[in-house]
A and B are shown apart, each in its own frame.
Chain A
Amino acid sequence: MKKRTFREWLKAWDEGEIDFSVPGPGCPETPGDAASSGDAADDRPAPKDDAAIRAYARRFRDREAALFRRIYPVMVVLIVAVISVFLLRVVTELPPFGSADTPANSSETIRRYLEDGLSETGAVNVVAGVILDYRAFDTLGESHVLFTAACAVLILLLSSEKQSDSLRVREILEKDAVLHTTGRVLIPLILLFGIYIVLCGHLGPGGGFSGGAVIGSALILYSLCYGPERVRKGLNLKSYRVTVLTALLFYSLAKCYSFFCGANGLETIFGPGTPGNLFSAGLILPLNLAVGTVVACTMYGFYALFTEGTV
């Protein structure tokens, strides 16, 4: 068999050339297996007759499937009931809800985050300080998970053919005056709000993930109102890749720098600054921007791939 690229394999699978479901050796289609279960041994066919064996195997499979279908819901309900009773029993053993002196709430780490977080990271929002400074590796992995998921969706759904039904819907939507006026009023406000959430992630509730999702929703709304071609002028497949990869690369390099300096006791150029200012808290603001870019692009990318088949 000649070597194929991944896309060719995928295409072959899509067209039904490859079949993963052909039963291999050891399936209960052989008469010996079927007979050993002792079920309806009298209509056992002669071993040489292929068609009869296949018919028998199908009947056996159907009977098994019917039995399975009857037992399965009962078993599911039983198992879930047992699990939930067990978990509720565990809940009664937990410390009371809202108490301060539980092991999870009174540990040394939490006290360190709350009492020294402001002077060490400069972030007024302690959660932002935790996820983008103390535990920045975690957030880096998170961004890469999102990026990998976007890549997987891109591989699975990228197609060059136009989808006719979405074209028809778009023609109707593009003539809609109400939609256009609402879009013209709402989209700038949503974008502005998203940018505010990203920029003030270290000063209050917010951050790259939530702000990026808001910006992504503004892009989706824009694409719905004015058609994906208008978005594609600014954000096509190439610029999408470049933007996301640049943001991830910037995140990795910035965190490399700060880990290198921190481990060797060097002075960094990103100090905590004056807490409460916009340009403070060291690397948290640029990292929030990078994460916000990745999230916004990924959200819009998911939408565009699922509806249009391309970014």
Chain B
Amino acid sequence: MLRILWDSRIQSAAVILFAVGFTTLLLNRNLMKKIVGLNIMDTAAYLFLTSIGYIEGRLPPILADGVADASAYVNPLPAGLVLTGIVVSVSVTAVLLALSLRLYKRYHTLDLDTIYRIVHEEAEERE
């Protein structure tokens, strides 16, 4: 089993990256670090997708010399799908960062526990 994992080490690395990102996302209380973890998870997904499309010993899908033979090139589809994923993750990251900036301007911290405490204290003061 370890032998197989080493042979497809790119996919294994993607799984490990995913685990690292997921742990970062869940364990950190700082919003910025949570966003970093989410981005690591995204990267793991892209690595996995591109590694699925790779074929040993073939050229990238750019038909420079006009050879239109499917057995000469790697799979062009995962590249296009990863492009979509990258754009979406950039957008999500931007919106998350903007929301975090708003939270920081309101509570002057990015620590979720502190924000939670401040919110509760303010609610109790109002009562």
Contact = CB atoms under 8 A, between A and B. Distances in A.
A302 B94 contact: yes
Given A91-B5, A98-B54, A83 B126 contact: no
A130 B55 contact: no
Contacts of A126: 61-63, 73, 76
Interface string A212-243: 00000000000000000000000000000000
A113 to B, nearest CB: 6
Nearest to A98: B56
Nearest to B93: A149
A135 B80 contact: yes
A124 B59 CA distance: 13
Contact of A152 (B12, B53, B74, B95): B95
Interface stretch (A72-80, A178-186, A249-257): A72-80
B82 to A, nearest CB: 10
Nearest to B97: A306
Interface string B70-88: 1101111111100110111
Scoring B55, B97, B105 by chain A CB atoms within 10 A of each residue's CB, the highest score goes to B55
B68 interface: yes
A306 B95 CA distance: 11
A156 B62 contact: no
A125 B95 CA distance: 32
Interface residues of B, number: 67
Question: Chain B binding site: helix, strand, loop or mixed by DSSP?
Answer: helix
B62 A99 contact: no
Range for the number of chain A residues in contact with chain B: 35 or more
B36 interface: no
Contacts of A21: 119-120, 122-123
Scoring A14, A19, A110 by chain B CB atoms within 10 A of each residue's CB, the highest score goes to A110
A96 B71 contact: no
Scoring B1, B15, B27 by chain A CB atoms within 10 A of each residue's CB, the highest score goes to B15
Contacts of B106: 14, 16
Contact of A114 (B22, B51, B76, B120): B76
A31 B98 CA distance: 40
A300 interface: no
Interface string A100-117: 101011000111011111
Interface stretch (A34-42, A140-148, A167-175, A264-272): A140-148
Contact of A149 (B18, B22, B95, B120): B95
A142 B7 contact: no
Interface in A19-74: 19, 21-23, 54, 58, 73
A153 B83 CA distance: 22
Given A16-B106, A91-B8, 4 more contacts: A77-B23, A100-B55, A111-B70, A113-B76
7 contacts: A99-B55, A100-B55, A113-B61, A114-B76, A115-B68, A115-B69, A127-B80
Closest 8 CB pairs of A and B: A149-B91, A98-B56, A126-B61, A84-B19, A97-B8, A156-B98, A114-B70, A21-B119
